Amino acid sequence: MEPKSVKSLAFIFARGGSKGLPGKNIRPLAGKPLIVHSIDTARTCRLIADVYVSTEDAEIAEVARQAGANIIERPAELATDTAPEWMAWRHAIEAVEQSQGPFDLFVSLPPTSPLRSVQDVENAIVAIEKDPTADICLTMTDAARSPYFNMVAADGTGGVKLAITGPAGFSRRQDAPKLFDITTVAYVAKPDYVKSQSSLFAGRVIGVSVPKARAVDIDDVWDFRFAESLIEGARNA
């Protein structure tokens, strides 16, 4: 008997409002709107059956539709600055299940990570397929700083203290636990987990590493310019 085929669907969540960089999701990057980079990656990935864009913004929806994505109309109350994206995830899953039927894996590809590779996405999908106990797989990259050594928090008296104090004898950075930054390259989850829980770390979470060069998360104009410089450098290499 052949193994059951796993149906993975990609979802891209893109609000119209961006305070850090107005119009960010459709701002041109290397000749195409930012969101199209994520759509193209999803459509190229052999492990993804289809791609959906959840948005409340008509202009974003039209750009995404022209790039080959299906559109999920995101309710206005899930498109505010304070609305948890987890609830938008849940809404999108339920909308697709109602119209298309159940699927096996939910793959979130935020538009703010345009430098991800198809392999990064496939690695995350394969990781959760191989671990039946995992509820969600996130992508991560080596942390540049350590809360045990060079990250501080205000101590309430006007001073600062180490964010986390290590165990006794914890005197070298090399002895500290290996730390990672969560990236927005990809999140892969079981749909029922998103529908039944309310946070990323409510269940069993696993991670796969991606290199820093592909983990840029665009939040403001400086991030955008950095991404542009990396793309240009790769073209000229």
Q: At what angle do helices 34-44 and 118-130 cross, to 10 degrees?
A: 50
- pLDDT tens-digit profile of 117-165? 999 999 999 999 999 999 999 999 998 887 777 788 998 899 998 888 7
Assess whether pLDDT exceeds 80 at residue 176.
no
Are 104 and 48 within 8 A, CB to CB? Answer: no
Mean local confidence (pLDDT), 45-62: 97
Query: 56-76 burial, b if ≥16 CB within 10 A, otherwise e?
Result: bbeebbebbeebebbebebee
Assess whether pLDDT exceeds 60 at residue 31.
yes
Q: Which DSSP string do the residues of 40-52 spell out, in sequence order?
A: HHHHH-TT--EEE
Rounded Cα–Cα distance for residues 85 and 52 (Å): 15
Rounded Cα–Cα distance for residues 235 and 31 (Å): 13
Residue 1: per-residue pLDDT: 39
Mean local confidence (pLDDT), 204-217: 96
Residue 146: per-residue pLDDT: 79
Looking from the CA of 153 toward its CB, the CA atoms found within 13 Å total: 9
Rounded Cα–Cα distance for residues 109 and 106 (Å): 10
Alpha-helical segments (H) within the chain:
34-44, 58-66, 85-100, 118-130, 191-196, 221-236
Assess whether pLDDT exceeds 90 at residue 4.
no
Residue 2: per-residue pLDDT: 43
Assess whether pLDDT exceeds 90 at residue 214.
yes
- pLDDT tens-digit profile of 70-114? 999 999 999 988 899 999 999 999 999 999 999 999 999 999 999
Rounded Cα–Cα distance for residues 187 and 108 (Å): 5
Sign of the Cα torsion 220, 36, 29, 126 reads: positive
In 111-179, the DSSP E strands lie at 136-142, 152-154, 160-162
| DSSP character at residue 214 | G
Rounded Cα–Cα distance for residues 93 and 88 (Å): 9
pTM for this model (two decimals): 0.90
Are 49 and 19 within 8 A, CB to CB? Answer: no
Q: 219-226 contacts: CB < 8 A, separation 24 or more?
A: 219/20, 219/21, 219/112, 220/20, 220/21, 221/20, 221/21, 223/21, 224/21, 224/24, 224/27, 224/29
Residue 233: per-residue pLDDT: 80
Residue 167: per-residue pLDDT: 64
Rounded Cα–Cα distance for residues 11 and 14 (Å): 10
